[in-house]
Amino acid sequence: MNQSDDTATAPFAYHGRVAPLLGIALVNVLLNVVTLFIWRFWGKTRVRRYLWGQTTAWDDAIEYTGTGGELLAGFLLAMLVVFLPLTIVFGAAQALIEMENPLGFVLMAALQLGTVVLIGAGLYRARRYQLSRTVWRGIRGSLAGNGWGYGFRLLGVVVLSVLTLGWAWPWGEMALARYRMNRTRFGDQVFDCTAAAKGVYGRFAVVWGVVVAILAAISIRLAAVLSLALWGSSGTDADSADLFVGLVLLVGLPAVGLGLLWYRVGVMRVVARGTRFAGASFEFTGRTWPVLRLMFGNLLISLLSLGIAKPWAAARTLAFAAASLRVVGTPDFAAILQNTERKPGVGEGLAALMDSAGEF
């Protein structure tokens, strides 16, 4: 029976501690050195099992069932099927460009567009693998759909965004979010996402306006200096232009970065609010400044530890996400049965190729 109501609860929690996680990270570093980084696939699995296992939903722990062998198999398959052919084509394109053959430029452009498709497909397949290895109360997750289809959709969004000076991006981002969420399953139940871009276009417009203002200010100043130079003005004007551009960038770039983070938080809020599952809905309560502190802290942890403590940074992100996600009502768990879809046999090889130093 569905127990859904209008009460928002916080059923997710992360209970992990820093010391055990850093112990796992240090052992992984040592074994990576001894095995010439072959251990990294098993090390990543150990980190995931700890992070998943220390996370609870409605007081029951989540389990990660993936293996290092699956990740290694996925990596090797991606190397053979994707990386090596791309390397050959890239070398051929470079050689044709050096011979001033127009076909070389065509091949290089195709490679750049293809890279966008690969990124999309790799991220989608990584999500599918991780969901298929995530188990809660004996029920596992899954992701339907096609990774290559998602990759081409991402390419379409990127191309449209370029053609519209960025204005198609919020629409495209929400379309991609709906594609992912509407194919995400827990057991035999499917998530339903109706998130729309109208909820984030206001934030996007502010960020877009700041970027345009920065570019306009720099362009006007440089145009004025160039005009004076044509009339034989001294080099002092060029020095003042350099100073002006430097000051604008010094103030403008942090403003753009903060604006993009504000926009990103808005996207997470809209996607969460537009998602339903088994009679329940979601809310994301995170705010810009706490997210900024989280990101800055994670950056310091990674930099000061030379990357060794990246699992700690991942745990901080997981804890923040769990604390910020609210559920309105209670899903009808009694109606959820195990899904019968075939699980992927290998790990996220494409994603591993794109982030070969990743720890989780």
Q: What is the pLDDT of residues 293-348, one digit of tens each?
A: 999 999 999 999 999 999 999 999 999 999 999 999 999 998 898 887 788 877 78
Residue 332 DSSP symbol:
-
Check: CB of residue 322 under 8 Å from CB of residue 14: yes
Q: How far apart are CA 141 and CA 260, in angstroms?
A: 31
Q: Which residues contact 202 (CB under 8 A, 6 or more apart)?
A: none
Lowest-pLDDT choice from 95-109, 176-190, 260-274: 95-109
Enter the tokens of residue 161: 């965004």
Lowest-pLDDT choice from 111-120, 126-135, 247-256, 321-330: 247-256
Between 112 and 248, the more confident residue is 112
Q: How far apart are CA 64 and CA 133, in angstroms?
A: 6
Q: Which amino acid is located at 42 in the chain? A: W
Residue (of 142, 234, 148) closest to 190 by Cα position: 142
Q: What residue has token string 């009808």?
A: 332
Check: CB of residue 93 under 8 Å from CB of residue 102: no
Residue 5 has pLDDT above 70, yes or no: no
% of the chain with per-residue pLDDT over 90: 71
Residue 261 has pLDDT above 50, yes or no: yes
pLDDT (average), residues 264-277 = 97
Q: How far apart are CA 307 and CA 249, in angstroms?
A: 29
pLDDT (average), residues 244-266 = 89
Between 233 and 321, the more confident residue is 321
Mean pLDDT estimate for the chain: 89
pLDDT (average), residues 203-232 = 82
Q: How far apart are CA 168 and CA 355, in angstroms?
A: 28
Residue 359 has pLDDT above 60, yes or no: no
Q: Assign 177 a pLDDT band (cuts: 50, 70, 90).
A: very high
pLDDT of residue 240: 64
pLDDT of residue 185: 95
pLDDT (average), residues 39-48 = 96
Check: CB of residue 151 under 8 Å from CB of residue 120: yes
Q: Assign 225 a pLDDT band (cuts: 50, 70, 90).
A: low
Q: Assign 239 a pLDDT band (cuts: 50, 70, 90).
A: low
Q: Which residues contact 217 (CB under 8 A, 6 or more apart)?
A: 248
Q: How far apart are CA 42 and CA 53, in angstroms?
A: 16
pLDDT (average), residues 171-196 = 96
pLDDT of residue 233: 53
Residue 48 has pLDDT above 50, yes or no: yes
Determine the 3-state secondary structure of 39 from DSSP: coil
pLDDT of residue 237: 55
Check: CB of residue 37 under 8 Å from CB of residue 113: no
Between the CA of residue 260 and those of 49, 183, 207, 255, what are the distances in Å?
32, 27, 7, 9
Residue 190 DSSP symbol:
E
Q: What's the helix, strand, coil split of the chain in %, to 5?
A: 65, 10, 25
Determine the 3-state secondary structure of 349 from DSSP: helix
Residues found in the chain = 360
Check: CB of residue 277 under 8 Å from CB of residue 203: no
pLDDT (average), residues 4-30 = 90
The string of pLDDT tens digits covering residues 143-170 is 998 899 999 999 999 999 999 999 999 9
Q: Assign 220 a pLDDT band (cuts: 50, 70, 90).
A: confident
Residue 59 has pLDDT above 90, yes or no: yes
* Interhelix angle 288-304/236-273, nearest 10 degrees: 110
Between 124 and 247, the more confident residue is 124
Q: How far apart are CA 27 and CA 51, in angstroms?
A: 16
Q: Where are the domains of the chain?
A: 8-195+274-354, 196-273
The string of pLDDT tens digits covering residues 76-94 is 988 888 889 888 999 999 9
